[in-house]
Amino acid sequence: MKRGFTLVEVSILLVIFLIVALLVAPMSLDDTVQAKNTSRWRNVQTDFANIFYSINTQKNEETAGLKEIFDIVISNEIKNNAKPYKITFLNGTYPNATYRFTDFKLTQAGSVLAYKFYDKPQNDIQGVFMYDVNGATAPNKWGKDVFGFNIYSDRFEPFCKNDSINAQRQDCSKNGSGLCCSNYYLIGGSFD
């Protein structure tokens, strides 16, 4: 009659637990990091809604254009210039010219932002804005730690806000660009 486990049985059980832990831990850690980045993005959205209120107030009081007022208001958030770095889409491809930025700014919170205005509005869009919630630290991918919105004359709007949920979910996957994650996570979409 056996009274307990042998050393071999305990060792095998320990190895099995270790293997399971090594398989589960990276997935759990990645989800935790993604949840943290998404939470930061939600806070940025709230902050920039307030910033746009300031811009609209100043626009009514001054004759400067939207870009000039945007520069003034954003300057309060800026710590200094950041070195340019490469940002990719979720699917690993390099963004087209619309979503490439050259003038990166480091914020007081350690994030990186960049924006550009168009010479002529495109479908009422005055420009685009990019926000890397964890700064130049990897992964530097749209939808992972980089999010953005379109700049209109009267509001900011996350990329893909008017797209269907299915289109946003599809774009916010490893096969998509990740641009739609900017809105998809704000409306409760989950990360895969």
Three-state secondary structure string covering 19-83: HHHHHHHHHHHHHHHHHHHHHHHHHHHHHHHHHHHHHHHHHHHCCCCHHHHHHHHHHCCEEEEEC
How confident is the prediction along the chain (192 residues), in pLDDT tens digits per residue? Answer: 567 778 787 788 777 877 776 665 555 545 666 777 777 777 777 666 666 666 666 555 555 566 776 676 677 677 788 898 999 999 999 999 999 998 899 988 888 989 999 989 888 899 999 999 988 888 999 999 999 999 888 788 999 999 999 999 999 998 999 999 999 988 888 766
- The per-residue pLDDT for 15 is 77
- The per-residue pLDDT for 25 is 53
Using omega within 30 degrees of 0 as the cis cutoff, is the peptide bond preceding 139 cis?
A: yes
pTM: 0.74
CB 53 within 8 A of CB 156: no
- The per-residue pLDDT for 132 is 92
- The per-residue pLDDT for 30 is 57
